[in-house]
Amino acid sequence: MPISDMSPEMMREIILDHYSNPLHKGRPEDESLYEKTHADSTNCIDDFDLFLRIEGDKVTDALWDGVACAISTASTDILCDRLIGMGRAEALRLIEQFILMIEEKPFDEELLEEALAFRNTGKQAARIHCATMGWTAAEKVLEDKE
């Protein structure tokens, strides 16, 4: 959906939805099948683990678990949602575009879908890290696996 079509109400709805009922929050039953990475922050209480299952070139499962504010909860949950089923290159491109959006630089709107709800995070500078920490953690895992 082009960003111009997403109203503040929709953005709020998306964030609240993933915050109140995260779809991918939890730990995998067998952690040994997953790449585990930790994300935390000095200026927010966010402190969580991200689990990516990568089979061949594909992300076949993504989960996260820990303590996080609304912004990092929703953004990490949406990240997991989007990553599942993606190839590594595609996933890295998605993350790259998300970061560009948060940094208020030109980005590919089509690719981001629900993640467009974070378009305005830059308005609350202290929360930029919250919105991106899950994404940069995933980026590192995906790059390291290359």
Cα of 13 vs its chain's centroid, Å: 17
Binding residue for other proteins (CB under 8 A) from 12, 23, 143, 145? 12
**Both structure tokens of 41:** 């922050």
**Both structure tokens of 10:** 């929709």
How many of the chain's residues bind other proteins (CB under 8 A)?
A: 21
Neighbours of 4 (CB within 10 A): 7
Lay out the site mask for other proteins across 82-111 (x = CB under 8 A, - = otherwise): ------------------------------
Q: Which stretch in 54-62, 76-84, 92-100, 125-133 sits in contact with other proteins by CB under 8 A?
A: 125-133
The torsion region of residue 85 among left (phi > 0), alpha (psi -120 to 50) and beta comes to left
Q: Which positions touch other proteins (CB under 8 A)?
A: 8, 11-12, 15-16, 43-46, 67, 69-71, 118, 120-121, 123-124, 126-127, 130
